[in-house]
Chains A and B, each alone.
Chain A
């Protein structure tokens, strides 16, 4: 069995977003970057499958500047059980959107012929939740998105996927792609010795040309970034007299905010 995990490096979820200058440029120079939390579930799931099925090979694939992603790949992928990593590093991809990223990842995946591809539900920077589904469509394979439970048997999978008010149970033949949601597993942390050993695992850096794929054109343009609207100051009611406070809140919600 061969598994690919699609991993992206994103700004830490605590990151403050600052827009600067009249053009409201997004300044990303000071971001602390980490493995996308949903991709951590993908990596963990792959490693657990490998632990049950020895002989499984796991390849982590990312698109990003090589010097920037190297540490994340080593620490969060190779040190916890991925066997090797591929970095597609190409300046032409700096401007790629979700459609473009998907085309390039699919090209990399075609060279690998995996039985199972695991991606995150969404990347917490662009919050697009598109790349995994697009990749599956390009490769012409099944996908199940937002998965919280995965079982593999006899070349097929059964996945549980979150929907409103419940779950759907979905079956598909391999090869297939899964996008991972919180609840699927609890990602392990890398140990120091494993981080050391991970340095010896192969990390291949490739360009679009080497994958035989044209860097695709964008499907939309970014016109501007904007800060979210600021909220009015909070009307605070002291809670020393809970009965009076509850009555006053109910009154404000009905008469002023008109929401109850």
Chain B
């Protein structure tokens, strides 16, 4: 039976949305393939994911509790999920392509001697095999791959799968032995420093407003942040803005920055260089605001305004406020 296990990532009891997206998609898949969806959750204090996991489509929830699951520890977490996989033999192991998941997935795959398909955007069941689609060359090309191993680890890009809710009751919860009792961690997280002022995280955001060199200077970045605020969006930037030191690198979208896949991406004063497109071209709706009608960003945009962002952004902010009120 092709059962799918989904790693439920949580930090301080807050589950990452990508976990629910993966459970939703996994349920759609097993409804075709015949099998179950299992949530896997590691935590340091009892977590209550059973209801939500069930609501999104999980049949069962497997949890393990241990001190080592308080902060991310690559060795401990991979050991635990590998122990689960060896005991329950899921056919696919989905892990969100978050900072934690991108670290965990290859480590886990190596422990299991398994394939790892990074940062995938679609999974299909063709009747007897899985076919997993992922972008390569920074999204300039897609590749469909068929894992040879069972389990196969599949990294999933946040926002690639649609959420479904209201599936039904709580998933049947069960605990498992993570096998970390005698483990001596090789590396230790000593501190987590939150970046100041960051409200919505780029890679998880459903809407992103990004500013490029067209904003002219750091003193104008507030135009981006204010529009983002009214939209409940994250604020991003092109590399030109980051390299100029106007905003930190954590804001950068693109090949050497973050890969994002929001429902709405608004590029303001960004020309649309191939390395920037690499990070955002899988966004569902793209808007460009640029005074140069020939800027390459208009080639990928769905909507665009050819004009001066300094005039347009405050007005757009007001229009959105009106719509939201």
Q: Which residues does A use to contact B, with CB under 8 Å?
A: 11, 13-17, 19, 26, 37-38, 97-99, 102, 124-131, 133-134, 136-138, 141-146, 148, 158, 161-173, 176, 182-183, 217-228, 231-232, 234-240, 242-243, 245-247, 249-250, 252-254, 257, 259-260
Contact = CB atoms under 8 A, between A and B. Distances in A.
Nearest to A158: B190
A38 B109 CA distance: 23
Chain A, interface SS category: mixed
Contacts, number: 273
A225 B307 contact: no
B1 interface: no
Most buried by B among A98, A127, A141: A127
B282 to A, nearest CB: 8
Interface stretch (B24-32, B58-66, B297-305): B297-305
Given A138-B110, A164-B201, A170-B190, A133 B103 contact: yes
Chain B, interface SS category: mixed
B21 to A, nearest CB: 15
Interface in B146-195: 146-149, 152, 186-195
Interface stretch (B41-49, B129-137, B214-222): B129-137
B117 A238 contact: no
A61 B317 CA distance: 52
B106 interface: yes
A98 B149 CA distance: 14
Given A137-B107, A234-B298, A239-B308, A223 B144 contact: yes
Interface in B84-131: 98-100, 102-103, 105-107, 109-111, 113-119, 131
A130 B106 contact: yes
Nearest to B306: A239
Contacts of A37: 256
Given A221-B148, A246-B312, A170 B99 contact: no
B131 A223 contact: yes
Interface string B308-321: 10011001101110
B271 interface: no
B255 A13 contact: yes
Given A125-B136, A126-B136, A224 B320 contact: no
B285 A259 contact: yes
A170 B188 contact: yes
Contacts of B192: 163, 166-169
Contacts of B316: 246, 249-250
Nearest to B73: A170
B314 to A, nearest CB: 9
Contacts of A254: 323
12 contacts: A15-B140, A102-B110, A143-B107, A161-B99, A165-B195, A168-B193, A222-B143, A222-B144, A234-B288, A237-B306, A242-B307, A242-B308
B145 interface: yes
B293 interface: yes
B74 A143 contact: yes
Given A127-B138, A169-B193, A236 B293 contact: yes
B15 interface: no
A170 B187 contact: yes
B249 interface: yes
Nearest to B98: A164
Contacts of A137: 78, 106-107, 110-111
Contacts of A166: 192-195, 198
Contacts of A252: 303
Contact of A168 (B105, B191, B231): B191
A250 B116 contact: no
B190 to A, nearest CB: 5
Nearest to A236: B304
Given A228-B281, A235-B304, A165 B201 contact: yes
B303 A249 contact: yes
A65 to B, nearest CB: 19
A225 B187 contact: no
A230 to B, nearest CB: 10
